């Protein structure tokens, strides 16, 4: 990324300036989400009502706009920075999805700085029949918090982190053992949470992407991170949450206080039961080491690649099906098996030996396979330390280049492709470890045939087969689809046009290309679906057009989640695409 010039900073300031100050009438929306939430059919509130809300929230009712509308070239460079995106109330990481939704800015946003601001926004939207949407960091692929003629609750300013040496949940009975924990507010990013935990010699289980929110859709939609097999999901790590429900009441929920609502926020989906203003997460002793395996094995022919895939399917249950391993392996039409694996708290020699079990026999056949993996082994405390990466592998990260940006602020270079994406498809499918054991050839056939059409990744840390028993005990108390516990991994496949902005001349996505990519993803995933009948899907990374989405995303937990939804939100005020209860109309 090029250095940000003074002119670019002035352009950024112009966007912020446009988002401050209260208009007398709502901005019109020429484009809008077709499924993330329909605009209310009720009459739009009068200016006096908006002024009243502005007064209630201390003058923090602001206007928003899509930052790419009438943007300068410098602004389009800034849009390549995930942290800059998060600092714009109207920005989203994705710009739309073919035949599904198109990014649109809410006319107004409450720039929330407290739970009271969220309560005021909820009460106003409910009483005036205005669609309410929420943005913490804006990563959602499915546009579930994007709607025209809506009120945005923007939680970016709420980023206080509090560490607890001995936390007791509200209402805990006498004799309850306190735990080490971290409370984060609604706008906190995982990078900030990791830094605070690492500085304290601790670890908190969260997402791999540094700019994703620690108190948002990731955490409440199950939330798989790079070390989920060891420490469990983001939802499993929730000790307590503060949530504002549709009636404007503030609930503090945990296993002792309103346990049903606590169950629902632990994996039942974000923006479904209310708006969570803060969450307390379990902390752990910091791991000692982590190994990172990159590189690949490339086959010289299709036949050799088909053999390579089956060898991997057979190897996984015996070599990688345990809590030490995480991250992913990539498959694609170039006949390459790409590694981005991690091994946690395992001696380097042992990690190398496990990998060698797989690649060793392949080295002996150079005419068929080119074997080129590499291993970085580091103290875990350096994983989120940009100074370490600057010295060790500067291309592995991208620092926030803006003057005045926090020194620790960076993102993984590999995550760059997620910014400014106009999606044609994004689908997921859990692969059961038992299927790899008893029918590896059939799974390998499906993987090979699918790879002829489209690349995909086998995300090891998003299947909980081999999970550590201590983490398993917590995750089994959440709303996570039970299928995940037997899954070796989650297959993820997507296709997008990057830095495409609908409605911006010269930067619009290509409709013919969008259609072609959508067809390719559907055709490729259909092959894997046929080989894995009844398999579930991860709700945070699911197909917008997912059929039987209730069963696919939550399995046997859906009925209980729906009962909780009806109890706490009987009018279906919080309604998002393929969220619990969204099959029913707003009351």
Is residue 226's pLDDT more than 60?
Answer: yes
Is residue 190's pLDDT more than 90?
Answer: yes
Q: Give whole-number Cα distances, 114 to 51, 124, 158, 237, in Å.
A: 19, 16, 7, 23
Cβ proximity of 421 and 95 under 8 Å: yes
> Can you say how many angstroms the Cα of residue 330 is from the centroid of all Cα atoms in its chain?
19
Tokens of 231: 């420490």
**Would you list the domain boundaries of the chain?**
6-154, 161-286+561-568, 289-383+420-541
pTM as predicted: 0.92
Q: How far apart are CA 552 and CA 541, in angstroms?
A: 12
Q: How far apart are CA 30 and CA 44, in angstroms?
A: 16
Is residue 10's pLDDT more than 80?
Answer: no
pLDDT tens-digit profile of 21-79?
A: 444 434 333 333 333 333 445 689 999 999 999 999 999 999 999 999 999 999 999 99
Cβ proximity of 429 and 537 under 8 Å: yes
Q: What's the confidence (pLDDT) of residue 32?
A: 36
Cβ proximity of 221 and 136 under 8 Å: no
SS3 of 524, please? helix
| Percent helix / strand / coil, the chain, rounded to 5 | 35, 25, 40
The values of phi and psi at residue 174, to 5°, are -55, 140
Taking each helix axis from N to C end, the angle separating 348-363 and 302-319, rounded to the nearest 10 degrees, works out to 150
Is residue 304's pLDDT more than 60?
Answer: yes
Q: How far apart are CA 548 and CA 555, in angstroms?
A: 10
What is the rounded average pLDDT of the residues 403-430?
96
Helix or strand holding residue 218 (H, E): helix 217-220
pLDDT tens-digit profile of 526-582?
A: 999 999 999 999 999 999 999 999 999 999 999 999 999 999 999 999 999 999 999
SS3 of 518, please? helix
Q: What average pLDDT does the chain have? A: 92
Is residue 11's pLDDT more than 50?
Answer: no
User: Which CATH code fits 161-286+561-568?
Assistant: 3.30.465.10
Q: How far apart are CA 104 and CA 278, in angstroms?
A: 27
pLDDT tens-digit profile of 20-35?
A: 344 443 433 333 333 3
Q: How far apart are CA 184 and CA 216, in angstroms?
A: 11
Tokens of 333: 């039409």
CATH classification number, 6-154, choose in 1.20.1270.10, 2.60.40.420, 1.20.1440.230, 3.30.43.10: 3.30.43.10
Tokens of 423: 């999606």
CATH classification number, 289-383+420-541, choose in 3.40.50.300, 3.30.565.10, 3.40.462.20, 3.90.600.10: 3.40.462.20
pLDDT tens-digit profile of 248-278?
A: 999 999 999 999 999 999 999 999 999 999 9
Q: What's the confidence (pLDDT) of residue 26?
A: 41
Name the residue among 266, 268, 291 with its Cα closest to residue 279: 266
């Amino acid at each position: 990324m090029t250095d940000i010039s003074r002119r670019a900073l002035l352009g950024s300031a112009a966007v912020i300036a446009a988002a401050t100050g209260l208009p007398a009438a709502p901005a019109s929306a020429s484009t809008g989400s077709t499924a993330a939430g329909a605009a209310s059919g009720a009459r739009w509130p009068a200016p006096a009502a908006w002024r009243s809300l502005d007064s209630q929230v201390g003058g923090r009712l602001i206007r928003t706009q899509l930052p790419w509308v009438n943007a300068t070239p410098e602004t389009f460079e800034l849009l390549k920075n995930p942290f800059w995106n998060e600092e714009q109330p109207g920005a989203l990481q994705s710009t739309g999805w073919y035949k599904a939704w198109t990014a649109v800015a809410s006319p107004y946003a409450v720039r929330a700085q407290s739970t009271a601001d969220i309560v005021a926004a909820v009460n106003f939207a409910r009483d005036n029949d205005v669609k309410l949407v929420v943005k913490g960091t804006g990563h959602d692929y499915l546009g579930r918090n994007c709607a025209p003629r809506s009120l945005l609750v923007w939680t970016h300013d709420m980023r206080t982190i509090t560490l607890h040496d001995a936390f007791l949940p509200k209402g805990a009975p006498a004799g309850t053992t306190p735990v080490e924990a971290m409370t984060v507010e609604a706008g906190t990013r995982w990078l900030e949470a990791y830094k605070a935990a690492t500085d304290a010699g601790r670890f908190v289980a969260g997402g791999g992407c540094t700019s994703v929110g620690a108190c948002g859709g990731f955490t409440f939609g199950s939330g798989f991170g790079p070390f989920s097999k060891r420490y469990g999901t983001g939802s499993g790590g929730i000790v307590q949450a503060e949530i504002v429900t549709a009636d404007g009441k503030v609930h503090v929920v945990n296993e002792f206080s309103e346990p049903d609502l606590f169950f629902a926020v632990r994996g039942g989906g974000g923006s479904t039961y209310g708006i969570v203003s803060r969450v307390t997460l379990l902390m752990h002793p910091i791991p000692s080491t982590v190994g990172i395996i990159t590189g690949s094995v490339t086959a010289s022919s299709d036949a050799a690649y088909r053999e390579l895939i089956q060898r991997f399917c057979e190897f996984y249950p015996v070599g990688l099906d345990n809590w030490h391993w995480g991250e992913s392996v990539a498959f694609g039409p170039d006949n390459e098996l790409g590694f981005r694996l991690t091994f946690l708290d395992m001696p380097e020699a042992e990690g190398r030996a496990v990998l060698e079990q797989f690649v060793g026999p392949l080295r002996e056949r150079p005419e068929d396979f080119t074997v080129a993996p590499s291993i970085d082994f580091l103290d875990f405390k350096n994983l989120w330390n940009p100074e370490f990466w600057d010295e060790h592998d500067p291309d592995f990260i991208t620092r926030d280049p803006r003057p005045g940006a926090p020194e620790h602020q960076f993102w993984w270079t590999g995550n760059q492709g997620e910014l400014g994406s106009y999606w044609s498809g994004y689908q997921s499918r859990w692969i059961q470890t038992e299927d790899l054991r008893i029918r590896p050839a059939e799974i390998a056939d499906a993987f090979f045939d699918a790879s002829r059409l489209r690349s995909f990744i086998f995300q090891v840390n998003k299947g909980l087969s081999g999970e550590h028993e201590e983490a398993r005990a917590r995750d089994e108390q959440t709303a996570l689809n039970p299928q995940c516990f037997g899954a070796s991994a989650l297959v993820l496949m997507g296709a997008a046009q990057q830095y495409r902005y609908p409605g911006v001349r010269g930067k619009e996505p290509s409709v013919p290309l969008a259609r072609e990519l959508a067809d390719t993803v559907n055709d490729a995933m259909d092959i894997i679906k046929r080989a894995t009948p009844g398999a579930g899907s991860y709700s945070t990374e699911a197909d917008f057009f997912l059929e039987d989405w209730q069963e696919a995303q939550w399995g046997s937990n859906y009925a209980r989640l729906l009962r909780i939804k009806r109890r706490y939100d009987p009018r279906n005020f919080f309604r998002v695409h393929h969220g619990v209860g969204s099959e029913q109309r707003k009351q």
